[in-house]
Amino acid sequence: MQSLCILGESMARDAPMDHSIAIAGSGIAGLASAIALHENAGHIRIFEQASQFSEVGAGLQLGPNAMRALQAIGCRDEVQAFAYAPPEIHLRDGLSGKLLRRIKLGTTFMQEYGSPYLVAHRADLHAALLRIAATRPKIEIIKNCSVASAVSARDHVAVSLEHGEPQSHRYLLAADGIKSRLRCNMFAGSEALSLSYMAHRCLLDSIPVVSGIAMGCVNLWMTPWGHVVHYPVGAPARLNIVAVTGGEAVKTGFSRAAPALQSLLDTVPVWLQWPVAHVPQLSRWSSGNVCLVGDAAHGTVPFLAQGAAMALEDSAALKRSFNLPKPLEAFEQLRKARVERLDRQSRSMAQLYHAGFPTRLARNVVLKLIPDITMSRQLDWVYRG
Ligand SMILES: Cc1cc2nc3c(=O)[nH]c(=O)nc-3n(C[C@H](O)[C@H](O)[C@H](O)COP(=O)(O)OP(=O)(O)OC[C@H]3O[C@@H](n4cnc5c(N)ncnc54)[C@H](O)[C@@H]3O)c2cc1C
């Protein structure tokens, strides 16, 4: 029997399973949660609405907290084998082009946090989690199968699928992303809130040479009208670029940017638009035997690059929670305060990144002069979490 059943359009018709866990969505949160829980559950059935796992997506940053979470669920080595370790983060003023600050990663981060700071292509991380799930006999993935709704009873949850037989499971984890249909069914008024930013993304097939830019590093360019982040991912290396504007096209948004940044942006043939949104902070993530995880619970703006990290941390927390008497409540207690702080801080980063005159000048002076120790404390709580 195949350890991982990808059933495509055909639906499983087994009898209801009492100790099984259903998961809606096989993104990073869904797959990592299944891997984390495979020892605790009778059976794990993941329903994924898409019929194919595509290469869609670009770069993800995996800070030390993400790597620790991967270690907790037994996936660290597999991911470390293909992820890239940038030597430094470069913070730049996107108008003058000046390099304001170099943050050393590499051994500095290893010594400080006991885990590296890595970056990867989302498709590579996703493929690695799929490979690992395939080695866990209790995990089954059913593609082309959208979860429509769920109704909790005392000791099970009835899961309705868009096409297919109703299912009965002990728990349902809703890992159906930032636009989560299950979250909107569970909690009125919980629709993701669009912000006035647009993230334009691209993946260049090779790394362009632009004088004055260290392409092997994570570069963050800040302008009053938006910011740009770029770093290499994959092998052979491709350049991941995300340009965040106030809604306008990249060319318009960065028309007054430093020549080096404009030269880089000009090399991009096509941008993919990704509207920036976040999930309102909810008083609960679970109701009965259903619980939100990943972006469905706490999707936020990508300004601290922690979306995948928070999904991975969720999975490690689920692993701990499912050894406790009320696992869904325990999960909320372990996770809520931390991701709410992360959400607030991520959204507040726009003020720093997009500062105009005179705040921009003050920011630049602070970033140049602040001691390393003070600088590293700013995100210490994120990386140590
Ligand atoms: C295609 C794609 C590309 C991405 N690219 C990037 C990127 O380049 N950089 C970045 O920082 N972040 C990216 N993200 C977001 C990033 O993956 C998430 O912020 C983070 O990893 C948390 O993931 P998640 O699993 O909670 O949600 P998601 O990654 O959004 O996964 C949700 C999954 O649920 C499935 N789904 C949705 N509704 C249902 C339903 N009703 N029934 C069954 N399945 C359902 C979706 O098809 C998807 O596979 C991308 C997300 C997706 C889906």
pLDDT, one tens digit per residue, over 67-119 is 999 999 999 999 999 999 999 999 999 999 999 999 999 999 999 999 999 99
Q: Which residues line ligand 1 (CB under 6 A)?
A: 24-30, 47-50, 56-60, 122, 146-147, 175-177, 181, 294-296, 302, 307-308, 311
Among candidates 101, 82, 78, which has minimal Cα distance to 32?
78
pLDDT at 341: 97
pLDDT, one tens digit per residue, over 308-350 is 999 999 999 999 999 999 999 999 999 999 999 999 999 999 9
How many angstroms does the Cα of residue 213 sit away from the middle of ligand 1?
31
- Mean pLDDT value of segment 114-133: 96
pLDDT at 385: 86
How many angstroms does the Cα of residue 22 sit away from the middle of ligand 1?
17
pTM for this prediction: 0.94
Structure tokens at 118: 């890595």
Residue 102 neighbours by CB under 8 Å, 6+ apart:
88, 89, 90, 91
pLDDT, one tens digit per residue, over 189-204 is 999 999 999 999 999 9
pLDDT, one tens digit per residue, over 250-302 is 999 999 999 999 999 999 999 999 999 999 999 999 999 999 999 999 999 99
Helix (H, G, I), strand (E, B) or coil at 84: strand
- Inter-residue contact 298 to 310 (CB < 8 Å): yes
Residue 7, pLDDT > 70, answer no
pLDDT, one tens digit per residue, over 347-368 is 999 999 999 999 999 999 999 9
pLDDT, one tens digit per residue, over 21-33 is 999 999 999 999 9
Give 199-266 as a 3 state SS string: EEEEEECCCCCCCCCCCCCEEEEEECCEEEEEEEECCCCEEEEEEEECCCCHHHHCCCCCHHHHHHHH
Point out the ligand 1 atom lying closest to the alpha carbon of residue 299.
19
How many angstroms does the Cα of residue 75 sit away from the middle of ligand 1?
19
Lowest mean pLDDT among 95-99, 155-159, 219-223, 375-379: 375-379
Residue 11, pLDDT > 60, answer no
Closest residue by CA, ligand 1 atom 2:
57
Angle between helices 64-72 and 106-113 (to 10 degrees): 60
Q: Per-residue confidence at 375, pLDDT binned at 50, 70, 90?
A: confident
Q: How far apart are CA 87 and CA 117, in angstroms?
A: 9
pLDDT at 4: 35
Residue 98 neighbours by CB under 8 Å, 6+ apart:
92, 364
